Structures are given as structure tokens and as C-alpha cells.
Amino acid sequence: MSGKTPSMKLADAATALEKALKAVEEAGLDQLPLLEALRGPLEKADAVVARMRELRRETVVAAYPDRSLAVYQIAAASGIVPNLVTRYAREAGLEMRNRRSG
């Protein structure tokens, strides 16, 4: 794992989680044991996903003032729509860019 990028490590973790979930599904647990099996991992996964989204939002806002990066480039890199990039910037109090030049 030493040569893997952080995004590759996240993708590997998501794949491992997907495999573990499949194993839980295939275990054929009744309702309450299934709910108990999902509770702890969901708490952790929800917290991690919330932090990932928070980090993405912070980074989008940090990248927005760099005029060498077009909004569509920030949107493509972050996996969100351009309108959301602009909304995040507006909510952060950043100066809005002109939509069209000339």
C-alpha cells in the first residue's frame, strides 16, 4: 500500500466496505440481528462520509478565488455541479465571478 495515492486508499476502503456489506447480506440474518450488525459500521461510515463532504466543500471554497481555475474545472475535480461550486462560494462570502465575459 505504500505506493498508493490517498484517493486509491479511499477507493480500496470503499471496496472493502462493499464486500463486507455483501457478506452481511449473505449471512441471512433476521431483522434485529441485521440492524445491530449495521448500526456500528453505519455510525462510523456516516461520520467519515460527512467529513469527506466537509473537506470537499472547504477545498472547493479554497479553490474558488484562484481565477486560473474555471468553475467547471473545480466542479469536475470535485464531482459536483458548477452551480453548487458557486453556491458554496457565495455562502462563504467570496466575491462572485462574472458568468460571461465580453
Q: What is the pLDDT of residues 9-67, one digit of tens each?
A: 999 999 999 999 999 999 999 999 999 999 999 999 999 999 999 999 999 999 999 99
CA–CA separation, 26 and 22 (whole Å):
6
Model-level pTM?
0.76
Q: Nearest to residue 73, comparing CAs of 97, 55, 90?
A: 97
Ranges of beta strands (E only) in the chain are: none
Distances (CA, A) of 24 to 28, 29, 49: 7, 8, 21
Neighbour count for residue 60 (Cβ, 10 Å)? 22
49 contacts 35 by C-beta, under 8 angstroms:
no
